[in-house]
Each structure stands twice: as C-alpha cells, then as structure tokens.
Amino acid sequence: MLVLAAGGLLYATVWQLPALFPRRTEGGLLLLSRLEGGEWVELQDGVEVPGRARVRFSVVLQRPASLVLIGLNAEGRATLYVPASGSPPRLKEGTSTVGEQVLDGVPGPELFLAVLCNTPLAPDVIVKAGERAAAAAGEPGRVQTLDLGCPEARLRLLKEPPG
C-alpha cells in the first residue's frame, strides 16, 4: 500500500505538476500584459484578446540569456517582436520588460515564444525555425519546440476577429 501511495505521489509530481505551470521552462518565464483602461493587466495562457490589442512583453530569467521573441500567428507567419532590429539583447537574471507592440490583427491563436540562448542566435534563424515548426505542426498551438538547443518560454493568446 505504501508503495502504491509513493508511486502515485511520484506520478503527480513528475507528470501533473508541470501541467499546472505551462509557461515555466528551465530558462525563464514569458509574461504578457494588455493595456486596459490605462493600466497593464497580466494575461493568462489561452485568454482571448482583441486582434489589435496593445501588449507588453516581459521575461523572468533564472540566469542571464540572449532573447529573441517571436509570435506565430494562425496563418503560420512569424513576427519578430524582440529585437526590433540588430542583435538579440543580453538580459540579466530577474524580470525585464522587453517590448510593447500592437498585435497584427490576424484572428485565431498566436503562440509567443521567447528563445533564451546562452550564445545568441541570429533572429532570422529563429523566425525561420518558427515558421517551419508551425507548418509542420499545422497550427501554432501545436508547436512543441523550435529545437534550437535553447530554452524556450511560451504563452498562447486567442486573437478575436475585428468587430
């Protein structure tokens, strides 16, 4: 009986607890907030937002990393959010607000991926990997990883059609 209880506890710890924290990775956490009535409100994974909502991107890092942040929309196109141009920023551990932007307006799911590399990768490499992964998965929400050897933090939003 004790062995069964220990097995159940091990199962819950290994397989069920990670499902409660889907945005946490070994490298960090991706946070998005939306401007509502003059205040920034944190968005939960899977929530609906207007297709042209203004969002703010933040990351919580457990260790320093170079950041490239992309979004994969319902059409399978990737949008590069960070960096806006140039090389990926190198961030220290802790919380950093890394950008703010109006979403592209394409209705449907959008998967936001923060790729957190120790050694920076070129943003265009990450954008192309995202588009390939979205095409292979058939939908952004089904993308499991970009498989670039870097930790990834993710958050998915459902963008509403224009009203």
R_g over Cα of the chain: 17
Burial (CB < 10 A; 0-12, 13-18, 19+), residue 33, is middle
- Domains of the chain: which residue ranges? 23-160
Q: List the chain pLDDT tens, one digit each, 163 residues.
A: 555 555 554 444 444 444 444 444 467 999 999 988 899 999 999 999 999 999 999 999 999 999 999 999 999 899 999 999 999 999 999 999 999 999 999 999 999 999 999 999 999 999 999 999 999 999 888 999 999 999 999 999 999 997 7
Cβ atoms of 133 and 84 within 8 Å: the answer is: no
Written out in words, the top-level CATH class of the domain with range 23-160 is mainly beta
Cβ atoms of 153 and 29 within 8 Å: the answer is: yes
Determine the Cα angle at 114 with ends 36 and 120, to 5°: 140
Q: Is 33 left (phi over 0), alpha (psi -120 to 50) or beta?
A: beta
0.85 surpassed by pTM: no
58: which strand partners?
Answer: 31, 97
